[in-house]
Structure 1
Amino acid sequence: MILITSVNGVDARFPDYIFSTRRVRYVEGEYVIIDNEPYIAASIRRISDIGTPGTPAEVVPVTDLPFDGNRTVKRAGLPQVNPAALSVKGFLEKYFYPFVPAEIAFTGSDATFEFGRRQNVTLRAKITVNDETEIANRRIIHVTNGNSLLFVGSDNDFSVETTMQGDETVLLHNKKQVFKALADVGGNGSPASIASALRTFNFYYPVLYGMAGYLNGATMYDALTKMVVSENTKQFSIALNGTNQYIWFATPFSLLKPVFRDHNGFDISDSFVLQNINITTSQQYPNWTYGYFVWKTGFTTSVANKTFTITYP
């Protein structure tokens, strides 16, 4: 409780949070105006509620409310938030030093691989504790496998190795494998789960290119250079070297005819003709057959270690 003396010499009691309510309209000079009544600012005292029954409570003069302001302010800028505080100290704590929740994230980055080829990847998740004091049930979820539980960790830095594609023990041969890391936290009295951003591994049929003699769907995979890129890729740079051979460019993505340019920038698109060919791999992993759009020069040529460009509209 707060004890304060009016200008008429009468003591009045108010709750500690009186100064954070609308009942205090303004402070002018040496006076505090509460409920339209002027009080002497220097007379503010706090009445303790500790004492022996039957004895008066201790009256302690209040010169300043204690507050630890020797800290770096956590909140950036001046956002319009409601701290829902009932005292000056509570307002300062909640506005300038809000509870900073824990964060969880995967290390590393997303990746792209050839479809069907075996990949062993390590999924490592790290939790930044911040102000959190309760963390449990740290886990990694395989989202594209029905949100199945992949791993449960015990530390704030936990990891698991998993195999995707190209393995008789792996049933999933999708073009995308997605994972997520989660943990349950206390949330400063509001329990919740925190989640990482998704970690995504994309699997694509490779683009094939190079110089060779006559090829068919059974020989093309081994004879040409493989490039694994997103199906949204619009431009390619291909290094060519060969004597009296065809130039080959095989894509699983687009039927549209691209613009072919040689190392001098000349448009040589008219030199290429389209074939639709089912290309088959020659090994168990990867093991697939897929329909490709294959561009081949109509005649053999020689190229001595030059880079050509291919651009789709």
Structure 2
Amino acid sequence: MILITSVNEVECSFPDYIFSSQRVRFVEGEYVIIDNEAYIASSIRKVSDLDKPGGIVEVPLITDLPFDGNRTVKRAGIPQINPAAISVKGFLEKYFYPFVPAEISFAGNDAIFEYGTSQNVTLRAVINANDETEIANRRIIHVTNADSLVYLGTTNDFSTQITIQGDETAPLHNKKQVFKALADVGGNGSPASIASAMRTYNFYYPVLYGMGPLLSGATIYNGLTKLVVAESIRQFAIPLNGENQYIWFASPFNNVKPVFRDNNGFDVSDSFSMQNMMVTTSKKYPLWTFGYFVWRSIAPTSVANKTFSVIYP
């Protein structure tokens, strides 16, 4: 038991643990503040319960304990949750200042490349620890290769460079390659694994366009401009420049006739006809042959640095 005299000269008793609690605030000078009341610091003494002198006032425990409310509230809005608290302080802590778990994400964005090409990509994972204090087994896995391990990290910002190839010649070479970053966390007493969103690399056959002479499946790839886009793209702006040449537009995706508009917006679709063509590349990366839907102006024409539109319905 602790005995101490108030500034009003009243002898008071407190439990032994009083000076290790948040009820006490030491100030410079000869006083100490307990439950917002001032006491004389030099009068502090400890006695056993059996030696307690008479006339001592026992200070009762108070329910309005000091609480650090000078903090930004973590919880957004007023959600209907059960904090499962059994005290006022416990409720305030759990409701307004809940444990914020760690988050993991990939830096950068998904990407698309030309089918058959070999690409060096950097997979960088970043962990925002928030309130988490236990983080281990940081890793990147190759989802489309049976969740195989790609890299083990040692810090909350870890990365590795890998080479991927977009074709179907081996299990690691696929038109769609997907990766994920994970880590094991303590979870404030509930261990778990956290995972990032998927990082996806797609490989597509390119759209080919431009102006040139009569071309074949063996010459069209090198004779036109290549544009690598997702299959969902429905509108293209194609810059053209040529004299007495054919206008070409070759798509690997869609056999529906698009609308061709010239630089003035006029519909010139009737000036184009379609033919199926097996397009073949001429180098190791990429090396492929694929069936294209090739649109070509019926007659040669001249276009001086103008942009035409190709629009699929």
TM-score, normalisation: structure 1: 0.80
Aligned runs of 1:1-313 on 2, under 5 Å?
Answer: 60-63=59-62, 64-165=64-165, 172-313=172-313
Contact 2:167 2:173 in 1 (8 A): no
Matches of 2:167 and 2:250, distance apart in 1: 26
The 3 A distance-change label for structure 1 pair 55 and 284 is: farther
Contact 1:123 1:160 in 2 (8 A): yes
Matches of 2:177 and 2:166, distance apart in 1: 13
Q: Give the counterpart letter for 1:282 in structure 2.
A: S
1:29 alignment counterpart: none
Q: Give the counterpart letter for 2:76 in structure 1.
A: A
The 3 A distance-change label for structure 1 pair 295 and 167 is: closer
Contact 2:273 2:295 in 1 (8 A): yes
Matches of 1:263 and 1:254, distance apart in 2: 23
Matches of 2:143 and 2:295, distance apart in 1: 38
What RMSD, in angstroms, separates the aligned Cα atoms of the two structures?
2.1
* Deviation sequence 1:99-142 (CA, Å, 0-9, x none): 00000010101111101111100000010011000000000011
CA drift at 1:66: 2.4
Structure 1 regions of 5+ residues with no counterpart? 1-50
CA drift at 1:250: 0.3
Matches of 1:189 and 1:166, distance apart in 2: 43
Instruction: Report the 3-state secondary structure (helix = DSSP H, G, I; strand = E; otherwise coil) of the residue aligned with 1:222.
Output: helix
Contact 1:279 1:292 in 2 (8 A): yes
Contact 1:273 1:295 in 2 (8 A): yes
Deviation beyond 6 Å, 4+ runs, structure 1: 51-56, 166-170
Matches of 2:169 and 2:312, distance apart in 1: 38
2:9 alignment counterpart: none
Matches of 1:171 and 1:238, distance apart in 2: 36
Q: Calculate percent identity across the aligned residue pairs.
A: 71
Q: Give the counterpart letter for 2:205 in structure 1.
A: Y
Contact 1:167 1:285 in 2 (8 A): no
Matches of 2:259 and 2:169, distance apart in 1: 43
Matches of 2:195 and 2:303, distance apart in 1: 52
Q: Give the counterpart letter for 1:121 in structure 2.
A: V
The 3 A distance-change label for structure 1 pair 264 and 132 is: same
* Deviation sequence 1:180-232 (CA, Å, 0-9, x none): 00000000000000000111111100000000101000101000000000101
TM-score, normalisation: structure 2: 0.80
Matches of 2:48 and 2:235, distance apart in 1: 86
Matches of 2:75 and 2:242, distance apart in 1: 63
CA drift at 1:307: 0.1
* Deviation sequence 1:47-80 (CA, Å, 0-9, x none): xxxx979789x95423421221121111111111
Q: Give the counterpart letter for 1:148 in structure 2.
A: S
Matches of 1:268 and 1:275, distance apart in 2: 18
Matches of 1:52 and 1:276, distance apart in 2: 101
**Number of residue pairs the alignment of both structures matches:** 262
The 3 A distance-change label for structure 1 pair 174 and 270 is: same
Matches of 2:81 and 2:235, distance apart in 1: 48
Structure 2 regions of 5+ residues with no counterpart? 1-46
